[in-house]
Chains A and B, each alone.
Chain A
């Protein structure tokens, strides 16, 4: 008998079945070895998915602080503009080379969108774009974290299932040996 784990994952990751009773479970399987083989395959798939998602999570965790810094720079421009101040800055012209810049009354900023594309926006619009991107990234991070937690529960359950079936098999073989030697 097996019970399904609660809640299917919103991204469609299949849930694994919890084995209520190993003895009953094995009645439906060809043999303990066949059952173990299937479970090990499922385990492999889950672990592979986990690796991919963990990498995605790391990449998002790196991108988010960078996005916050970009937003901070734009906010700084806005706040200095609001005070009517001119901004003195040094920016990176190329590796290890900086040059002076005076920014007065900035109207537009250019946002690097990736793939060698840069778009000019009025400052307020640029801020909105950046905020939107940051929110999306944080939402993705939330989803990936949720998926990883779901996966972890499946992986742990499969590990326990494998151990129980294996132990059950060991005991069954031992009982058979002892019975045979009587």
Chain B
């Protein structure tokens, strides 16, 4: 609980409300991005392992690719090309999400500075 002397008299203006709403939205988005990135990185790691194994495999025509519930037989080379293409697309997606995460964190930091300046202890913007 705040001590009486720590209370802030400042009224919340519409601009303040917009900043608070934006912070809240960005905060939610931040967690979503972190979770999505984790999923993508797991997928990337699986693709990496798959490609590695294929390179080590000796027999030609040895690859079976699981799509949904069916295993398609593929030439080793075709399989490697496909996995590498998938991985490239995935890594582009990861890069885009990481960029968005950076921007989100940076905007959140700016909003924090402004809001804490006005409301000091009357507002809590930290949950980690």
Verify that A and B bind, or say they do not. yes
Main secondary structure of the interface of B (DSSP, over half): mixed
How many A-B pairs have beta carbons closer than 8 Å: the answer is 53
**A18 CA / B20 CA spacing, docked (Å):** 12
Which residue of A20, A66, A98, A152 contacts B14 across the interface (Cβ within 8 Å)? A20
Asked, given contacts A18-B17, A72-B67, A87-B72, whether A160 binds B12 with beta carbons under 8 Å apart, the answer is yes
**A98 CA / B64 CA spacing, docked (Å):** 13
Which of A3, A22, A76 has most B Cβ within 10 Å?
A76
Are B70 and A89 in contact, CB atoms less than 8 angstroms apart? yes
**A97 CA / B67 CA spacing, docked (Å):** 16
Are A70 and B68 in contact, CB atoms less than 8 angstroms apart? yes
Are A156 and B11 in contact, CB atoms less than 8 angstroms apart? no
Are A89 and B20 in contact, CB atoms less than 8 angstroms apart? no
Task: Tell me if B91 counts as interface (CB < 8 A to partner A).
Answer: no
B interface, size bucket: 10 to 19
Task: Tell me if B73 counts as interface (CB < 8 A to partner A).
Answer: yes
Q: With a CB–CB cut-off of 8 A, which chain A residues contact B13?
A: 20
Task: List residues of B whose CB falls within 8 A of some A CB.
Answer: 11-14, 17, 20-21, 24-25, 28, 64, 67-73
Name 30 A/B residue pairs within 8 A (Cβ), A-sorted. A3-B14, A18-B14, A18-B17, A20-B14, A21-B11, A66-B68, A72-B67, A72-B68, A73-B67, A73-B68, A73-B70, A87-B73, A88-B73, A89-B70, A89-B72, A91-B69, A91-B70, A91-B71, A92-B70, A98-B71, A149-B25, A152-B24, A152-B28, A153-B21, A153-B24, A153-B25, A156-B20, A156-B21, A157-B21, A160-B20
